[in-house]
Amino acid sequence: MNHDILQTFLAYLKAENKAQAVTFAMKLIEESKTTIEELYLDILAPSLIYFQCEEHDEDICIWKEHFRTSIIRTILESCYQYVLKRSAQIKPINKKIVVLTPAFEYHEIGAIMNTHFMMLEGFDANYIGANTPRSEILSAIRAYKPDYVALSVTNPYNIVVTKQTTDEIKRYFPEVGIILGGQAFKDRNHLDNIQFDEVLNSLSDLKAFSKKVAS
Ligand code: B12
């Protein structure tokens, strides 16, 4: 990834210039200067993960973080049509995945990105939302009949609700596989006592999983 590209993008974000940031990112895709994977992992993710507020006033920091996230979300939604186009050209893996974040978990950018990555690997994947109550997850499984449910968890406080959610999924739908991903599982101790089938923490993990499932 060209360092100047990241710096230009960060400058638009720093100036809170949503129009220029979105236009710049979409041009990179339209002109094939980056792939979707590079855009997400080398530009969008670091622009959030390494965001540091220069203000001393915490209130200002919070709206800046919200605004930055909303810019990134707009770019992700704008990329969806390019994800569809590319995924139409690859061999489908006939497996459905429902992606979500469990109740109380508001961090959703990683979940949206990975839904797109799953589509680009050939999965029939859909992101159904953040902060999803347990009853709604069970209802989505009943209606949509996925092969897998993928839960993205960032905040370690949400490990307890993740355990309750995965216990319920396995109790009522033992045939549905559970995929876990997100910052909370970087600490493997957080997996203790949770029922799951796969933990995927990177695009290479996801690629290895798709190979395994497709074969
Ligand atoms: C944006 C943001 C928010 C936004 C989220 C908005 C949104 N719509 O998503 C808002 C403002 C809501 C928010 C709120 C809070 N946040 Co916040 N937030 C962030 C921030 C700046 C970026 C997160 C992000 O989007 N990263 C970019 C994505 C792409 O990275 P990612 O999620 O890790 O995903 C990658 C991988 O983990 C993986 N992955 C993720 N999910 C999945 C799923 C699957 C299936 C797979 C295969 C892979 C995968 O793939 C991605 C690409 O590599 C981080 C800073 C940081 N260092 O991450 C803090 C951070 C996560 N937040 C934090 C905190 C503490 C909070 C609050 C508690 C703050 C508060 N006091 O209110 C609340 C909690 C809200 C809640 N109940 O969930 C802490 C968490 C610390 C911790 N480990 O406990 C962080 C780390 C900030 C910090 N340094 O303290 N936050």
Predicted confidence (pLDDT) per residue in 188-205, tens digit: 999 999 999 999 999 999
Q: Rounded distance, CA 178 to CA 172, Å?
A: 13
Q: Is a pLDDT exceeding 90 seen at residue 61?
A: no
**How many angstroms does the Cα of residue 120 sit away from the middle of ligand 1?**
23
Q: Closest Cα to atom 33, ligand 1: which residue?
A: 183
Looking at residue 52, its pLDDT comes to 78
Written in H, E and C, the secondary structure of 129-163 is EEEECHHHHHHHHHHHCCCEEEEECCCHHHHHHHH
Q: In testing the pocket of ligand 1, which one of 107, 116, 190, 202 has its CB within 8 Å of the most ligand atoms?
A: 107
Per DSSP, the three-state class of 103 is coil
Predicted confidence (pLDDT) per residue in 108-122, tens digit: 999 999 999 999 999
Looking at residue 1, its pLDDT comes to 62
Q: pTM score, two decimals?
A: 0.97
Predicted confidence (pLDDT) per residue in 130-143, tens digit: 999 999 999 999 99
Predicted confidence (pLDDT) per residue in 71-118, tens digit: 999 999 999 999 999 999 999 999 999 999 999 999 999 999 999 999
Q: Is a pLDDT exceeding 90 seen at residue 62?
A: no
Please compute the mean of the pLDDT values over residues 18-38 and round it to a whole number: 97
Ligand 1 contact, 183 CB (< 6 A) = yes
